[in-house]
Amino acid sequence: MFSTSKFKKICTLICSLQFLLVSYAHAEDNSLLVSYGTVNQITNDEQAANYNPFPWLKPGLLNSARIELKFGSYGVQILAQDQVTGVRLSSLYSEHEGEKIARTIAFTQYEANINDKLGMAHKEILAGGSIGSTLKKYEFDVKKDLFFKGLVEDMPDRLQSLMHTQERAFATVIYNLVAKEGNNYYPYCTIVEVYSPEFLTLVDVDQIYPEPIPGSVNPQNAFDAIDIIDRMKQLIIRS
């Protein structure tokens, strides 16, 4: 049995997965069109063909690279970590006038059994390393299997403080991360990424991850999303 409120949460998440707030996206699309229309004109056709005023929105980049491209710097700060339960909460930040401003708050749940091939990379990540770039350093490709993208509301005030924002709704993705080496795939963790509105909007997320999410109306995905987001919120409050 589950409560009416949890059932409503599941329905809301399924709608978010299925429709992704079309009216919101339409409004944001208009603002993007305005932004593209106001950049300085480039007269050289070849330059114009290769010019991208928003390079951080290119699909396939690590989140750390996106932050550095947009804000000029990047760092990772571990806010909380429990190696017994295999969870980590981190702030992926940029610096502005000497302050660390969170651009992404990431909640990580590591796999219970991590392949020995990932041992060195995992040790470095537990010591504070950035997950994607550390796996890349050890010559693994990073594969993300998304099972949620949408807006998440009612985040703790602590998150707003870290992001220096008064906004209440945040573009969010949840994915299973797999390290790939040749034809071998090693499940590593599940990650929730909550983005600062100054960094990525839901429209931006759709541009980065344009493909439909497989099984997006699967109730189990909604249960999983609710559970991991709730656990993330509790860890943010305690951090």
pLDDT in tens, 81-117: 999 999 999 999 999 999 999 999 999 999 999 999 9
Q: How many CA atoms lie within 13 A of 137 on its CB side?
A: 12
pLDDT in tens, 180-221: 999 999 999 999 999 999 999 999 999 999 988 876 667 788
What whole-number distance in Å separates Cα of residue 109 and Cα of residue 157?
A: 22
**CA dist 40 → 36, 45, 46, 49, 166 (Å):** 9, 14, 15, 14, 31
Q: Position of tokens 């980590």?
A: 88
Enumerate the β-bridge partners of residue 184: 181
The predicted model scores a pTM of 0.79
- Residue 18's pLDDT is 46
What whole-number distance in Å separates Cα of residue 194 and Cα of residue 184?
A: 29
Q: Which of 171, 90, 164 is nearest to 128 (CA)?
A: 90
pLDDT at 45 over 80: no
Q: Which of 59, 107, 77 is nearest to 232 (CA)?
A: 107
- Residue 135's pLDDT is 97
What whole-number distance in Å separates Cα of residue 103 and Cα of residue 94?
A: 7
pLDDT at 23 over 60: no
* Average pLDDT, integer, range 9-17: 52
Burial class (CB in 10 A: 0-12, 13-18, 19+), 136: middle
Which amino acid, one-letter code, is at 82?
D
